Amino acid sequence: MSIRALRTLISIHRHGSFRAAAEAENLTPAAVSQQMRNLEASWDLELFERSLRSPKLTLTGLALVDEADAIVTAYDSLADKVRSDDEVSGELILGAVPTTLTGLVPLALTQLKKSHPSIRVRVVPGLSHQLLLQIDRGQIHAAVVSKPEVVPNTMAFSEIAAEELVLLAAQSTKDLPPLDLLQSQPFIRFNRDAVVGRKIEAWLQNNGIVVNDVMELEGLEAISSMVAAGLGISIVPKTCIAESDHLPLKRIPLGNDAPSRHLGLVSRADSPKAKATQAAKAALLTAVSIGEFNIKSKACPYIANNEKPTLSGHTRTR
């Protein structure tokens, strides 16, 4: 038996097949199959029902998955538990929604590196529901997300900031009430697959506002550019981190019933990276208290001094 084999067993359960587990664990299907046969032989247990087209875990196999999950979690957190100081090291795989990648996340990571120089962070972009699924599958350790309608009881969510939604318009747009603008101008939607996109749609419907859709985009930068070009107006979060913005834009409050999106850090309640996750949370809160991302600021020493944090980027498309 090995920790690697137990990880593979857990992955088979989470992903539903040997092939999917092989892809998730960077193994060949043949290697996955061999690991499982060795596991069965070493303990003289029947873990899979192989008479089916796709092997399915037996009741014994399902019971072993629960025990294996506890063992792997304990193994992964062993170093942090016995470390005598407050230093955090090792790799933290951090997911983040796209709207945080140009302000909140880079500013927070510079603060994290100041406090814990030995930590290595790999950033994985994605929408909130995608990132929650990746946390559940053990593919990432934590994620900065928009708070979903329901947080799974296996996960812990810590709020970082509340961002009011505002109407985004070009500087040349006439000064009219938000309702008049929404009913008269082309509307650029925030992706409705995102939590914030669904929140915007709910607000429009609750207020009986019918808009003239011209496009639906995911990234805040893309939406801002389209609005600045005079192609329409939009509703977006007023980000908790002020960024250098040279686009001719104005942000108009929606009124007393304006919704907000709540950003937070989410991780599994039994995360083996609890110490690193807490350090990331503290860095995020520090970034929000600073409130501005400026590469010449003392808040960003690694960038201001032309030094690069030890980060390995991971880009994914929808």
Residue 55: CATH number of its domain: 1.10.10.10
- Among 267, 264, 216, smallest CA distance to 240 is for 264
Per-residue pLDDT for 296 more than 60?
A: no
Question: What percent of the chain lies above the pLDDT cut of 90?
Answer: 52
- Do 155 and 280 reside in the same domain of the chain? yes
Per-residue pLDDT for 179 more than 90?
A: yes
- Do 70 and 90 reside in the same domain of the chain? no
Helix locations, 143-194, DSSP H? 178-184
Give how far Cα 217 sits from Cα of 47, 163, 166, 202, 227, Å: 46, 19, 16, 17, 12
pLDDT tens for each residue of 264-294: 999 998 887 888 999 999 999 999 999 987 6
Assess if residue 275 is contained within a domain: yes
Query: In the predicted model, what is the mean pLDDT of the chain?
Result: 86
Bridge partners for 261 per DSSP: 163
Q: Which pLDDT score, from 0 to 100, does residue 246 have?
A: 75
Domain of 109, in residue numbers: 84-161+262-313
Q: Please give the full DSSP string across 297-313, using - where no structure is assigned.
A: STT-HHHHTT---SEEE
Q: Which pLDDT score, from 0 to 100, does residue 91 have?
A: 84
Assess if residue 318 is contained within a domain: no
What pTM value is reported for the model?
Answer: 0.72
Q: Which pLDDT score, from 0 to 100, does residue 82 have?
A: 63
Per-residue pLDDT for 88 more than 80?
A: no
- Do 156 and 13 reside in the same domain of the chain? no
Between these two residues, 285 and 256, which has the higher pLDDT value?
285
- Do 154 and 292 reside in the same domain of the chain? yes
- Do 43 and 179 reside in the same domain of the chain? no
Per-residue pLDDT for 310 more than 70?
A: no
- Do 143 and 281 reside in the same domain of the chain? yes
Q: Which of 15, 42, 76 is the last residue of a domain?
A: 76
